[in-house]
Structure 1
Amino acid sequence: MERYNLTHVSEFYLMSFSEDPDLQPFLFGLFLSMYLVTVLGNLLIILAVSSDSHLHTPMYFFLCNLSLADISFTSSTVPKLIVDILTHSRVISYAGCLTQLSLFLFFGGMDDLLLTVMAYDRFVAICHPLHYAAIMNPHCCILLLLLSVFVSVVNSQLQYLTALQVTCFKDVEIASFFCDTSKLLDLSCSDALIKNIVTYMVGILLGFFPMSGIIFSYYKIVSTILKIPSSGGRYKAFSTCGSHLSVVCLFYGTSLGTYLDSSASYSPSKGMVASVLYTMVTPMLNPFIYSLRNKDISSTLKRLHIWKI
């Protein structure tokens, strides 16, 4: 296979969903619709939280930031995909690829860490209700948000610098519709050591630690709820966590399916489907999960005359 020196590589070619020209209008309409629903749905969440003083609480503060991260996360990949389908082009410049990679990793990390912070918020609210206001004070909320931003920046820049160190490529065809570190490192002429190190690092930083925090939080939450004597009280406590738990399962289910596939069973088509679920479907469904299952959000949207359900 021909190898390309970095000094001669100015662009890459992204993988397309289909080369069939008759299918392009359908794909364009599908992805454009999903993107618009994602942006509008998350903007409605932000509007509801910002317009209702009753929603100015830690839980909705983090939900508002999660919606903002979802919009940015989707916007880092989908507009480029839509333009590529419209213009029948798969080309992305080297600089554009690294920029997209950095933004995708940053906002994806924000999604991951904010879900972890929200699990901690629910843990404090249910397990330590009398101390909730003291523990989850405005300074603590801002600190947790800044910590999430800091870790996301560190992760994205470390992976960006790792990709930047690749000086030789086996090919310029990226097996995805966007630039991702693992797919870019697959094209490296060097051995898989760097890719394995990056994979394990990301798995620990954005996989093991956040998932451990979420699992521990819900273990304590379930233990506390089961001690509530009345069934009505248990249901009310569970309902406050239902939306968050649904989003956590959706986010981790699709992301694990994307990044933990075995090399033996991996195929580009499966990877593309998993990436769509991870980058488009999950951010699109989050607003519906929170608005339909959350009475505070849905009632606020009804008062704004923009939600009829």
Structure 2
Amino acid sequence: MINVEHLNYSYAHNSQYALKDVSFHIEKGEVFGFLGPSGAGKSTTQGILTGLLPIQEGEGTVAGVDLRHISRDIFNKIGVSFEQSNVYGKLTALENLEFYRKLFDGPTMEPLELLKMVGLDQVKNKRASTFSKGMKHRLTFARSMLNYPEIWFLDEPTTGLDPGIASTIKDIIKQKNQEGATVFLTTHNMFIADELCHRVGFIVDGVLKVVDSPRNLKLKYGQPMVEVEYGDNGQLLTASLSLEEESDKEKLTGLIQGGKIQRMHTKEPTLEEIFIRLTGRGLE
């Protein structure tokens, strides 16, 4: 569904590249996470894939459309939910969706149904200018589903939302993916990526470092650990011990033989820990 080869992009049109030789492909029905800190190149890549930025160097296709020769057809096939909401403040929530659905050539979802999905049906007749940031974000998210997109571009879909609404948004993403939508998810939230994505790509300073499934990355680069709770002189202590480092293995053996352990369980490395290990960078 998406294929890009050797993308380079410079906003200043010089050797200061925001993207440097980026190549990847995304299969139909896949949820692909594009992960990195702010300024890594996530939004630039999404801008190129959605036709907002021109290809400067390299090549790419989205849903069979050559990105060097964008046609109207591509906009009937994709949906985009930006991190920065761009709804029409003078229109109501319902009017926003009614207006936007007229821009598509094919069938569209019912606006009221979409508002119900994201919990905005009770404010359908209120102007978007009166909405909180989170409500505007939900309206933008709802709008991105209007045209039954084949490829769904989501930029930080749960940013600024309370846990309950964020959970609803994640459930909608899972549902739409099960119905066949291919999802390109840009985020710096590794927990959401781990939960939703079939594969992820780590990008830092415009360079795509690695692409693989979260599970494979953890198995390949993670360090097996156990977390133990044990008693020592009347105190309850906790320790995370490596199953590869000799000193930790000796300590664990001693705790087991001494009968001091009260609770023990394996500890899987997080995707964020793997990201830091592979890139040397955090996500802030």
In our comparison, the structure showing a higher alpha carbon Rg is: 2
Give the structure with the higher percent strand.
2
TM-score bracket for this pair, using the shorter chain length: under 0.3
How does the TM-score come out when normalised to structure 2? Answer: 0.23
Higher relative contact order (CA 8 A, sep 6+): 1
How does the TM-score come out when normalised to structure 1? Answer: 0.21
